[in-house]
Amino acid sequence: MLLSQYISSYSSLGGIILLVFLVIMGGIIVNYLIRMLETAYVLKNMKPLYTHLYLFSRKLTKSQKSVLRRNFKFYNRLNDKHKRYFEHRVACFIKDKDFIGRQGFKITEEVKVMISATAVMLTFGFRDFYIGIISKIVVYPKAFYSKTNQTLHKGEFNPRLNALVLSWEDFIVGLDIENDNLNLGIHELTHAIHINSIKERDVSSTIFNDSFKELTKLLADNPNLRNKLVNSDYFRKYAFTNQFEFLAVIMETFIETPHEFRSHFPDVYNKTKQMLNFNFAGY
């Protein structure tokens, strides 16, 4: 009797182990097939198979939502569904980052919401929107002295410290004046997104990085377009310092004056739109 019970229990255990093994292998195979399917889709369409899919949505407080409505016109241009997605992402971004005030600057809910909303706006077409290379956001009241090159800075991204550093005074000016193609938050966050896209291999980082390579090749292969870009008054000369500053400046212009951008440089505009997967809010 004891022997038969032992054999029976051993057989049951073996069946359970086999079942678990088959479930794990099935999961691996399904995951592999989904990734292959998405890879094929991305190669054909240069956009993720899906962008927004949330089992649980985080909510902003009434006061946080009020900050968005009052101060963030991009949010107000979204439809109701996209507004819910935007709010969820802002709440997640705030929770994910460590906000630090310097020189007596106080980190308020408005500060957190406005900086986070700028980051979420730029990555709203991404699936992974966290910009993982940023772990802390340091805010000064005004321009600050940077040890990097011993001069005053309005903002910088320090990849070694995983820190985005901003002057609040200049950040707000960038938001208040919406058509001068100067926006400190967009500029510095683009640097972070750019470096993050080089380091990471998620689908949105890959699309961003590959699309930028396509844009640089487009300009390299079209000297007339390149000269038109350089000689125009539309992009400020700082854009042509290096590839990082070029990308940051075209992101400022893309967000602030999209219609003029599309009118003057449609090919460059379309590559920028592809980089960000921007198919909403009139872009």
Give tens-digit pLDDT for 161-180.
Answer: 999 999 999 999 999 998 99
What is the model's pLDDT at position 171? 98
Question: How big is the CA angle at 179 (ends 242 and 125), to the nearest 5 degrees?
Answer: 65
Mean pLDDT of the chain: 90
User: Is it the case that residue 2 has pLDDT exceeding 70?
Assistant: no
- Give 250-253's long-range contacts (Cβ < 8 A, gap of 24+): 251/122, 251/186, 251/187, 251/190, 251/276, 252/181, 252/182, 252/183, 252/186, 252/187, 252/190, 253/181
What is the model's pLDDT at position 151? 87
User: Is it the case that residue 235 has pLDDT exceeding 70?
Assistant: yes
What is the model's pLDDT at position 278? 95
Please say whether the beta carbons of 121 and 255 come within 8 A: yes
Quickly state the pLDDT bin for 4 (edges 50, 70, 90): low
Please say whether the beta carbons of 168 and 105 come within 8 A: yes
What is the model's pLDDT at position 37? 73
User: Is it the case that residue 256 has pLDDT exceeding 80?
Assistant: yes
Please say whether the beta carbons of 96 and 60 come within 8 A: no
What is the model's pLDDT at position 234? 93
Please say whether the beta carbons of 119 and 131 come within 8 A: yes
User: Is it the case that residue 148 has pLDDT exceeding 80?
Assistant: no
User: Is it the case that residue 39 has pLDDT exceeding 80?
Assistant: no
The answer to which of 31-40, 147-156, 239-248 has the lowest mean pLDDT is 31-40
How many residues does this entry show for the chain? 283
* Residue reference for tokens 């390299």: 220
What is the model's pLDDT at position 5? 56
What is the model's pLDDT at position 16? 73
